[in-house]
Amino acid sequence: MTASQPRTAPDRTGAPSSRFSYTVKNYMALTKPRIIELLLVTTFPVMFLAQRGLPDFWLVVSTLVGGSLSAGAANTLNCYLDRDIDRLMARTQNRPLVTGEISPSAAMRFGIVLTVVSTLWLGFFVNWLSAVLSVSAILLYVVFYTLVLKRRTSQNIVWGGVAGCMPVLIGWAAVTESISWTPVVLFLWIFFWTPPHYWPLSMRFKDQYAAAGIPMLPVLKQDTSVARQIVAYAWATALISLVLVPVAGMGWIYLVTAILSGGLFLLEAYRLLGRAQDPANATTASLKPMRLFHYSITYVTLLFMAVAIDPLLHLPL
C-alpha cells in the first residue's frame, strides 16, 4: 500500500470485540497520540520545577490525564474542521474522517465530550486555574489556529503555536495554583521553538500543502529564505533557554544541558541553511529538512528532562 492510498477497512462481519477495538483505534487516531506525547513531555517536568522536588503522585496523574483529554479534544476538533484538506494530502489521507471510518458528526460530538470531560476533570481533581488554561488551549488551537490562521497566513504556525505553549502553564498552575515568570519563560521558549520545529516538516511536505491550498511559509518562500528564518528562531530559542537560569535559579545540570542541546539545535539549523544555499540541493530530499525536525523533538525532550532533574539533584552555580 502506498502512502497516498487510503487504508482498507477490515471485514466488519468479524467478532464484535474486533469491531469494537477497531472503532476505538479510529477514535484514538483522531486525538493524534504522538502530539499528545510531545505535549506531556513539557507538562510533566514543569511540575517538578514548580514543586522544587517530587510533586504529589496523584496530582501528577490527574494533571496528565486531564491534559491528555484536553489535547485529544483539540486534535479531534482539528481533524473535524480540516477533513476537507486532509483528503488532499498523502500524509493525512488515512485519517478516520477521510476514510469514512468515523462520521463528521460523531467526531464533532467526541471532541465536544472530551472538551467537557477534560475541563471538569482538571477543575475537580486538579484546580480551576488549570481547567481554564486547558479550555484556553483548546480554543487557541481550534479557533485561532485552525479556523482563523491556518488557511490565511504563512505565519499560521508562529502564532497558532501559542496553543502548544499552554501545557507548561497548566503544569505550573496544577502545583502552585498561580502563574509566575518561570512558566512564562518556558512558554516563550516553546513559542520560539515551534517554527524551527514545524517549518522543516512543512518543507518536506510543501507540495502537499500547496495542493491543499495551505499557505505554509515553505510553500510561499524560497528554501533559503525559510532556512534563514529557522536560524533566527533557533537563536531566539537557545538564548531564551538560558534566561531560565537566573529567573528560576537553575543549576549546573540544566545549564550544561541547555548549552549543549541548544548548540546542536543551532548547528542543525545552520546545516539546513547551508544545504538550502547550495545550488546542488535543488530537491527537498537533498535538503534533508527532517534531520532538524527529528532533532527538535530530541531537543525539547532533553531540555525538559533537565527542567525536572535539576531541582531534584540541584547543583547550584
The CATH number assigned to the domain holding 240 equals 1.20.120
pLDDT on residue 284: 74
Handedness of CA 281, 282, 286, 289 (dihedral sign): positive
Let me know if residue 210 belongs to a domain.
yes
Residues 33 and 173 in one domain: yes
282 with 171, same domain: the answer is no
- The answer to whether residue 169 is domain-embedded is yes
**Rounded alpha-carbon distances, angstroms, from residue 214 to 149, 150, 155, 205, 252:** 10, 7, 11, 11, 43
Whether residue 139 is found in the same domain as residue 81: yes
DSSP state of 216: -
Q: Are residues 64 and 161 in the same domain?
A: yes
Q: Tell whether 16 is covered by a domain.
A: no
Residues 163 and 100 in one domain: yes
CA-to-CA dists, residue 39 to 31, 53, 178, 304, angstroms: 12, 21, 20, 11
Residue 236 falls within a domain, yes or no?
A: yes
pTM comes to: 0.92
Considering the domain architecture, whether residues 260 and 280 belong to the same structural domain is answered as yes
Give domain status of residue 130, yes or no.
yes
Residue 19 lies in a domain: no
Q: What is the pLDDT of residue 107?
A: 96
Residue-level pLDDT at 15: 65
CB-CB neighbours of 229 under 10 Å: 17
Q: Are residues 187 and 261 in the same domain?
A: yes
Q: Residue 80's domain is classified under what CATH number?
A: 1.10.357.140
The amino acid present at 156, given as its one-letter code, is N
Last residue of a domain, one of 131, 146, 178: 178
Asked if the structure places residue 271 within a domain, the reply is yes
Residue 53 and residue 186 in one domain: no
What pLDDT is attached to residue 114?
A: 98
Same domain, 138 and 185: no
- The 10 Å Cβ neighbour count of residue 164 is 26
Q: Are the C-beta atoms of 95 and 78 separated by less than 8 Å?
A: no
284 shares a domain with 160: no
Q: Which of 123, 152, 178 is the last residue of a domain?
A: 178
**Residue 246: what pLDDT?**
97
Strand segments, DSSP code E, in the chain are: none
**Domain check: are 296 and 189 in the same one?**
yes
What's the total number of domains in the chain?
2
Q: State which residues form the domain around 192.
A: 180-317
Residue 232 lies in a domain: yes
Task: Quick: pLDDT tens for 228-285.
Answer: 999 999 999 999 999 999 999 999 999 999 999 999 999 999 999 999 998 887 677 7
Q: Where are the beta strands (DSSP E) in 196-283?
A: none
Q: Looking at residue 283, what is its pLDDT?
A: 74
List Cβ neighbours of 298 (8 Å cut-off, separation of 6 or more).
261
Domain closes at, from 152, 178, 204: 178
**Cβ-count burial 68-100 (b if 16+ within 10 Å, e if not):** bbbbbbbbbbbbbbbbebbebbeebbbbbbbbe
Residues 200, 215 share a domain: yes
Q: What is the pLDDT of residue 180?
A: 97
- pLDDT, position 301: 96
Query: At 73, phi and psi to the nearest 5?
Result: -65, -45
Q: Which segments in the chain show pLDDT lower than 50?
A: 1-9, 13
